Chains A and B, each alone.
Chain A
């Protein structure tokens, strides 16, 4: 009887009719019956559910209002945030590059709202991160700067450095030609261990390390922003390069050379006129071999 825990079955009313009959005939049955009956009337002490519940809600530590049911959600969100944050930081740490291709001009803003206009085939590199405290960029080619007021502003080229505080100026660094024109404010130019200060309306021209005399500026911005190419005692090669760059064409001129310098203005909106002026000056002729190719020959 013991191993089958019959009494448990009996108490739960799970005995078979036969088993029950037999059990009820046993001498112990009466006692068990009474035990069952009286224990069924027993009560535990009263339980005040309401106050217990109040205690619980009062005791529980500040539960965060938004409790996410699933941990994975929290983890995924955290990873996403970190990834985005890293990307963001990297984006600003990495050097940004702005460039204008041949035949193009582009303008853009620096993080401090300084404006830069890039002439054709020019490139500027700078770091967006912490820009306002470290306004230093690298220039290849030519650009016009409208610098917002702030900490000092450096333009680094392979030929020299220009430092300004809140001004407008043009820097041209091509081959061995370094030219800086100041249109507003004051500009400090450093090249070949020399330091110069430019004020509004003045410029400096350096060719192959030698400084040339320069005339006062007559406009409020560089000529190329006015769609004109102003050349100051430029070699023929330089003039040709500028035209190539600006119009995005190739000019075959290997058979041509000249020591004559060109000073004048070439239009940047009409290649034929530009070529004609040049040709007239140097006694040349030009033919368009294709849409983007021109050949110069001696007259």
Chain B
């Protein structure tokens, strides 16, 4: 009984959101919290410029809010990505995409590793960073959206307005390039 209720509630919320539309601030802020980081990261992966990624993603949401009456909720995601992509058309010079590393999940494991291992890993990381810079924009954004933001290929396809097959091609290409470059530098 309780399970049915929960599903019903979720569906009801979905329907209400759909009908209410993005002009409802609650719906808008909800949408923002679910998608802003992804959009900003995507732009960052593209150009490596954090400040401009922040600015452009903000712009996109401002435009969404201003045009809320014309954008149904289900089209909102592709709307902001489209706006963001258009904004970058004449712009930003490519910069190095600087990514940090999260602490390893199991610190205990880390301390057991030998210094050589740690050093090797540091070196690998450096090579990986460099190799990521040299990916094509399409490969880099698809790859990082999957690895860092955990987006499925279907989600990435929707964001970038390409087919799932195209996403797979980019991911595959990225992995091959990365390996080749890392192994060459060795």
A residues within 8 Å of B by Cβ? 2, 5-9, 11-12, 28, 31-32, 34-36, 38-45, 47, 49, 52-53, 55-57, 59-61, 63, 67-69, 71
Contacts and interface: CB of A to CB of B under 8 A. Distances in A.
A3 to B, nearest CB: 9
Contacts of B182: 31, 35
Nearest to B44: A44
A52 B153 contact: no
Given A8-B172, A41-B104, 7 more contacts: A6-B172, A38-B125, A39-B143, A45-B100, A52-B40, A63-B23, A69-B23
Contacts of B37: 47, 49
A50 B65 CA distance: 16
Contacts of A42: 99-102, 144, 147-148
Contacts of B101: 38, 41-43
Contacts of A53: 29, 32-33, 36
Contacts of A47: 36-37, 40-41, 54
A43 B168 contact: no
Interface stretch (B3-11, B84-92, B173-181): B173-181
Contacts of A31: 179, 182-183
B130 interface: no
Contacts of B79: none
Interface of B: 21, 23, 29, 32-33, 36-37, 40-41, 44-45, 50, 54, 57-58, 61-62, 65-66, 68-70, 98-102, 104, 121, 124-125, 128, 143-144, 146-149, 152-153, 165, 167-169, 171-172, 175-176, 178-179, 182-183
A43 B175 contact: no
Given A44-B44, A56-B58, A28 B124 contact: no
Contacts, number: 122
A204 to B, nearest CB: 70
Nearest to B54: A52
Nearest to A62: B66
A40 B144 CA distance: 9
A34 B66 CA distance: 45
B27 to A, nearest CB: 12
Nearest to B172: A5
Nearest to A40: B147
A4 to B, nearest CB: 8
A208 to B, nearest CB: 74
A198 B127 CA distance: 115
Contacts of B99: 42-44
B159 to A, nearest CB: 15
A35 B175 contact: yes
Nearest to B153: A12
9 contacts: A2-B172, A41-B101, A42-B101, A44-B41, A45-B44, A45-B98, A49-B37, A52-B58, A69-B69
